Structure 1
Amino acid sequence: MKKTLTILELFFCVAILALVGSLVMVKAKPMIAQYRFQTSVHRLAKELEWSHKVAMSAEADIDFRIEKKKNTLYCTRLTDEPLGFRGGNKELKIEQITQLFFDGEEISELKLTFTRTGSIRPEGNIQLSSSNKTLQIPLNPAQNRVIAASET
């Protein structure tokens, strides 16, 4: 004898699936927030490294300004190159950052200058924090690059 599902049984199945799904989402929320934070920091590190490389290869000074408002970083890249180059003047919005530090001091704004000779002013370490995690981006012109983000 073949039995078909009744509406009541179908509702119970949907309710059980919804309950399991909500439990998984509660557990996954911190993991998703952590992934977004790490992605944001690595994106900023890539932009800084790109600015450093382009400043040397295009022989142009590049100003990179980082401004923190609420939980978002607003980054602006400007160049003195009169002809410009692809990606030269750019605005960037990076979310999921709750605190911005430079050499251990909390700041709300930072202006970096990448020179045509390869130096970075000011030199130091940028530290970015989320609710429970801190990542660091060392600015190291001696190695001719911005080192990728690392845990502190």
Structure 2
Amino acid sequence: MKKTLTILELFFCVAILALVGSLVIFKAKPMIAQYRFQTSVHRLAKELEWSHKVAMSAEADIDFRIEKKKDTLYCTRVTDEPLGFRGGNKELKIEQITQLFFDGEEISELKLTFTRTGSIRPEGNIQLSSSNKTLQIPLNPAQNRVIAASET
């Protein structure tokens, strides 16, 4: 004779699955936060690299302003190019950043200028921190490029 599941047994199985799922999510939360932080820093590094390349190829000065409010960076890119270009004047929101440093000094705002000659002002290192990790984006005008983010 075939026995079917009772509704009580079915609810019990669903409860066990929900409990196991919540434990897995609880354990994975720090890993997800770490992934989001690394993704945010690499996204900022790509935007800085793109701004630097476009400034040289379009022969235009680009101002890149980074402003930190709470755990979010607000980045604004503005150019003096009269014709403009795709992605020229752009606002960008980067989350998961708890601290912003420039050459070891904590700041809340940073203005970078990428010139048509390839120089970056001011020169230095941008350090971004989350709760337990710090990544660095060196601005290296000697090599005429922004170097990708690395651990410090």
Say yes or no: does 1:18 pair with 2:55.
no
CA offsets 1:66-89 (integer angstroms, 9 cap, x no match): 000000000000000011111110
> Where do 1:2-151 residues align within 5 Å?
2-151=2-151
Instruction: Provide the identity percentage.
Output: 97
**CA distance, structure 2, for counterparts of residue 69 and residue 22 of structure 1:** 31
**CA distance, structure 2, for counterparts of residue 143 and residue 87 of structure 1:** 24
Shift of 1:8: 0.8
TM-score, normalization by structure 1: 0.99
**CA distance, structure 1, for counterparts of residue 104 and residue 144 of structure 2:** 23
**CA distance, structure 2, for counterparts of residue 3 and residue 146 of structure 1:** 67
**CA distance, structure 2, for counterparts of residue 4 and residue 86 of structure 1:** 63
Count how many residue pairs are aligned between Structure 1 and Structure 2: 152
**CA distance, structure 2, for counterparts of residue 17 and residue 6 of structure 1:** 17
**CA distance, structure 2, for counterparts of residue 27 and residue 66 of structure 1:** 33
Shift of 1:55: 0.2
Shift of 1:150: 0.3
Shift of 1:144: 1.6
Unaligned stretches of 5+ residues in structure 1: none
**CA distance, structure 2, for counterparts of residue 88 and residue 14 of structure 1:** 52
Shift of 1:115: 0.2
**CA distance, structure 1, for counterparts of residue 27 and residue 49 of structure 2:** 35
TM-score, normalization by structure 2: 0.99
CA offsets 1:73-125 (integer angstroms, 9 cap, x no match): 00000000011111110000000000000000000000000000000000000
What value does the CA root-mean-square deviation take over the aligned residues? 0.5
CA offsets 1:18-42 (integer angstroms, 9 cap, x no match): 0000000100110110010000000
**CA distance, structure 2, for counterparts of residue 5 and residue 95 of structure 1:** 47
Between stretches 98-107 and 138-147, larger displacement belongs to: 138-147
Structure 1: 4+ residue segments shifted above 6 A: none
For 1:139, what is the secondary structure of its paired residue? strand
For 2:65, what is the secondary structure of its paired residue? strand
Shift of 1:143: 1.3
Shift of 1:142: 1.3
